[in-house]
C-alpha cells in the first residue's frame, strides 16, 4: 500500500486477489499475515474513502480501525456506532461473499449503534 490511509485501487484489488482462493475455500492454506493485513487494511481504507465521515467506526483487530459514513466524527472513548469483526469475516463482507445481515445474524459481526448497519450500503468494496 502507498502511505498510511492512502488508497490505491490497483494495490487493493491485488491484495484481495492474493487472498481470494482462501476466502472462497477455508480449507486452502491461510495467507501470510502480511497478505492478510494488506487486504484488510486496503479494503477498510477503501470503504472510508468511498463513504467519508465519522459516524461509524469499522474495527478489524488487530489490523485496522477506520471511521466512515457522513456524520459527526468521534474522537474520544467508545464510539456510538461500531462495526467489528475478524479479518476473514471482514474480507468476506468486503468482497461480497457474505452479506451484512447474514454476518450479524450468525454472530460473526457485531454492529452496535443506530447507524452501524449503514455500512452495508457500501459493501462490497472489491467484489470477487
pLDDT tens profile 62-80: 999 999 999 876 667 778 8
> Position of cell 487494511?
41
- Show the low-confidence residues of the chain (pLDDT under 50): 1-3
Please give the pLDDT value at position 3: 47
Q: How far, in Å, are 72, 84, 90, 127 from residue 61 at the CA level?
A: 23, 8, 10, 22
Q: Which residues fall within 8 angstroms of residue 66, CB to CB, at 6 or more apart?
A: 44, 45, 47, 48, 57, 58
Identify the three-state secondary structure at position 65.
strand
Report how far residue 66's alpha carbon sits from residue 11's, in angstroms, rounded to the nearest whole number: 18
**Would you tell me how many other CB atoms lie within 10 Å of the CB of residue 51?**
21
Q: What is the pLDDT of residue 1?
A: 40
Order of all β-strands in the sheet with 56-60: 64-68, 56-60, 82-85, 109-112
Residue 2 confidence (pLDDT):
44
- Rounded to an integer, what distance in angstroms lies between the CA atom of residue 29 and that of residue 26? 8
| 68 strand-pairing partners | 56
Amino acid at each position: 500500500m502507498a502511505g498510511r490511509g492512502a488508497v490505491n485501487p490497483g494495490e487493493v484489488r491485488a491484495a484481495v486477489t492474493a487472498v481470494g482462493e482462501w476466502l472462497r475455500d477455508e480449507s486452502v492454506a491461510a495467507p501470510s499475515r502480511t497478505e492478510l493485513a494488506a487486504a484488510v487494511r486496503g479494503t477498510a481504507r477503501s470503504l472510508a474513502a468511498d463513504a467519508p465521515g465519522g459516524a461509524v467506526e469499522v474495527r478489524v483487530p488487530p489490523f485496522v480501525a477506520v471511521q466512515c459514513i457522513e456524520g459527526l466524527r468521534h474522537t474520544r472513548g467508545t464510539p456510538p456506532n461500531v462495526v467489528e469483526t475478524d479479518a476473514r469475516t471482514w474480507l468476506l463482507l468486503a468482497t461480497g461473499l457474505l452479506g451484512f445481515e447474514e454476518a450479524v445474524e450468525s454472530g460473526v459481526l457485531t454492529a452496535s449503534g443506530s447507524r452501524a448497519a449503514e455500512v452495508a450500503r457500501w459493501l462490497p468494496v472489491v467484489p470477487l
